[in-house]
């Protein structure tokens, strides 16, 4: 696996695919700069070597047409501020104007191209478009894990024009390494915590990781499909009745593979889906009609704590309660605290997938776990065992 550390960029122009699809407010101010900050080490490495950086990214969904509201020009000042270099900008990502701007780029300088998705050919993975992009650098660096599961021109196709002159950026390398630790090289016991509302959205992940983990903690809304499948009463809790056979099959597969599955034994139930609902602790398989489980109960959390604190490698994907409502956030916060404690004792912890990442950020656990993935869809597809197109393109020569 070639990374930026395998190259010296002196007098070279690095064409870097970054993921600067960051949230903006109504006045086009960046409200979360994590993705820009994550790309900084790769860009700095190129500049410190004595090279220059050409940054390309998408923003939003402009449907293949220029759209002033989705111009990357809006984030130029923020990118300059974070990198510590005044970043230049060009109003297209291919063609004469872009080629001229790249030709004039000096060592130590950074140029950002306009939104790749202003051209429909980007998302189509068009070869001619990718070839035009390839003219803008000497070495191709993919540092956009968040788009690595898309076979787009800038993430995948462009790599074929850089035989031997392509590599992963710092962020991509860290993402790949983190997933490798959970899926292959991690110290045992390995524990996967899967939360969220639906079994159906996690089927392929569960099936793929069962042969790689020692413990599987099931939480969140999908708990109730498992509980009902085993004959329990779940009241008005979210439940996928058509997935109950699948839930039983997962439990059978786990038993055959020697994986211990931990399902909640008690829950915080509510009489409506509201922060102000009446609540009570009930056994997970005895939730009254008119009530629904919205968070893990105290016995469940004690069980989960014991498993997590005895783990050496931890994957957390999905919250175990409706953490967006304060009344039902305690379980997810407790889980974060247990993972923090295990990590501080030497365990490796990886958090990935939209809602769990949101929870980690909301409750201040970002610096307390080993790694927080920047790519929701890409992370999930990696856990499903898929080879991501953006990764495969660098590995092929």
User: Are 136 and 111 in contact, with CB atoms under 8 Å apart?
Assistant: no
Of all helices (H) and strands (E), which one includes residue 260?
strand 260-262
For this structure, is 354 an active site residue? yes
64, 124, 377, 386: the active-site residue: 377
* 21 marked as binding residue: yes
* 353 marked as binding residue: yes
Q: How many CB atoms lie within 10 A of CB 258?
A: 9
| Strands 139-142, 190-194: pairing kind | unpaired
* 60 marked as binding residue: yes
Rounded CA-CA distance 154/17 in Å is 7
Rounded CA-CA distance 393/383 in Å is 19
User: Are 152 and 120 in contact, with CB atoms under 8 Å apart?
Assistant: no
312, 354, 368, 386: the active-site residue: 354
* 152 marked as binding residue: no
Rounded CA-CA distance 4/16 in Å is 11
Rounded CA-CA distance 360/366 in Å is 6
* 364 marked as binding residue: no
Q: Is 68 helix (H, G, I), strand (E, B) or coil?
A: helix
DSSP string, 207-230: HHHTTT-SEEEE-GGGHHHHHHHT
* 35 marked as binding residue: yes
Rounded CA-CA distance 82/10 in Å is 22
For this structure, is 146 an active site residue? no
For this structure, is 164 an active site residue? no
Q: How far apart are the first and last CA of the chain?
A: 11
Q: How many CB atoms lie within 10 A of CB 69?
A: 10
* 324 marked as binding residue: yes
40, 198, 230, 368: the active-site residue: 198
For this structure, is 64 an active site residue? no
35, 181, 212, 243: the active-site residue: 35
User: Are 240 and 198 in contact, with CB atoms under 8 Å apart?
Assistant: yes
* 127 marked as binding residue: no
* 150 marked as binding residue: yes
Question: Could you tell me which residues are annotated as the binding site for ATP?
Answer: 202, 293, 324, 353-356
Binding site: which residues? 19-21, 35, 58-61, 117, 150, 202, 293, 324, 353-356
Binding site as annotated, residues for substrate:
19-21, 35, 58-61, 117, 150
Tell me the catalytic residues.
35, 198, 354, 377
């Amino acid at each position: 696996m070639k990374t930026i550390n395998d190259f010296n960029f002196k007098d070279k122009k690095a064409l870097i695919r970054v993921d600067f699809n960051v949230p903006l407010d109504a006045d086009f101010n960046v409200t979360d700069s994590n993705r820009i900050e994550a790309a900084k080490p790769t860009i700095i490495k190129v500049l410190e070597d004595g090279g220059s950086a050409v940054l390309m990214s998408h923003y939003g969904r402009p449907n293949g047409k220029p759209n002033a509201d989705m111009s990357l020009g809006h984030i130029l000042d923020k990118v300059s501020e974070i990198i510590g270099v005044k970043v230049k900008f060009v109003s297209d990502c291919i063609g004469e104007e872009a080629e001229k701007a790249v030709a004039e780029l000096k060592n130590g300088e950074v140029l950002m191209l306009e939104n790749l998705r202003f051209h429909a050919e980007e998302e189509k993975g068009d070869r001619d478009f990718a070839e035009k992009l390839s003219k803008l650098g000497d070495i191709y660096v993919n540092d956009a894990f968040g788009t690595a599961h898309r076979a787009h021109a800038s993430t995948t196709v462009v790599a074929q024009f850089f035989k031997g002159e392509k590599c992963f950026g710092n962020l991509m390398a860290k993402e790949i390494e983190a997933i490798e630790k959970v899926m292959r090289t991690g110290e045992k016991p390995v524990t996967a915590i899967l939360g969220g509302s639906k079994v159906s959205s996690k089927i392929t992940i569960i099936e793929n990781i069962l042969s790689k983990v020692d413990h599987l903690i099931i939480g969140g809304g999908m708990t109730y499909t498992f509980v009902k499948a085993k004959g329990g009463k779940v009241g008005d809790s979210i439940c996928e009745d058509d997935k109950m056979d699948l839930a039983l099959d997962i439990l059978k597969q786990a038993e055959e593979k020697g994986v211990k599955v931990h399902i909640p034994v008690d829950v915080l139930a509510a009489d409506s889906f509201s922060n102000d609902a009446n609540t009570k602790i009930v056994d997970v398989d005895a939730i009254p009609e008119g009530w629904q489980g919205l968070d893990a109960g105290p016995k469940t959390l004690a069980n989960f704590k014991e498993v997590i604190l005895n783990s050496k490698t931890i994957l957390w994907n999905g919250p175990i309660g409706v953490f967006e409502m304060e009344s039902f956030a305690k379980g997810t916060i407790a889980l974060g605290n247990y993972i923090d404690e295990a990590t501080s004792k030497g365990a490796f912890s990886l958090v990935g997938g939209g809602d769990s990442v949101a929870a980690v950020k909301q409750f201040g656990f970002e610096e307390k776990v080993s790694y927080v993935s920047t790519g929701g869809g890409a992370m999930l597809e990696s856990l499903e065992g898929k080879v991501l197109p953006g990764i495969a393109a660098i590995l092929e020569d």
